[in-house]
């Protein structure tokens, strides 16, 4: 019974396609396009442009957008120094 419930939850979660965890990396993926994100303040972090949009740091990898669940220290410091609150 328990495996069937867990399988059902996984199927429902996978079918929704809204977001998911990216392991221990502390990022989440969103399949929906992030409207206006590329016009937001940005900085290059780990070789990619990161955009500060609606209190989250977003970046693109391939055709998907990701955001950090926990703000990395470098990005926090950059945001603080530039008064992006």
Each of the 85 residues of the chain gets a pLDDT tens digit; together they read 544 543 343 333 333 343 444 444 578 887 666 788 989 999 999 999 999 999 999 999 888 889 999 999 999 999 999 987 7
Is 73 inside a domain boundary? yes
Taking the C-alpha atoms of residue 9 and residue 5, their distance in angstroms, rounded to an integer, is: 6
Is 4 inside a domain boundary? no
47-67 residues labelled b (16+ CB within 10 A) or e (exposed)? eeebbbbeebbbbeeeeebbb
According to DSSP, residue 64 is labeled E
Is 68 inside a domain boundary? yes
76 is in which domain, residue-wise? 18-81
pLDDT of residue 35: 85
Is 12 inside a domain boundary? no
Is 6 inside a domain boundary? no
- 20 Cβ neighbours under 8 A, 6+ residues apart: 13, 28, 29
- For the chain, the domain total comes to 1
């Amino acid at each position: 019974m328990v495996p069937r419930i867990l399988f059902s939850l996984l199927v429902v979660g996978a079918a929704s396609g809204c977001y998911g965890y990216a392991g221990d990396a502390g990022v989440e993926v969103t399949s929906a396009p992030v409207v206006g994100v590329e016009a937001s303040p940005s900085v290059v972090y780990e070789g990619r442009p990161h955009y500060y949009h609606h209190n989250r740091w977003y970046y693109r990898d391939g055709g998907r957008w990701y955001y950090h669940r926990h703000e990395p220290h470098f990005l926090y410091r950059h945001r603080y120094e530039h008064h992006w609150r």
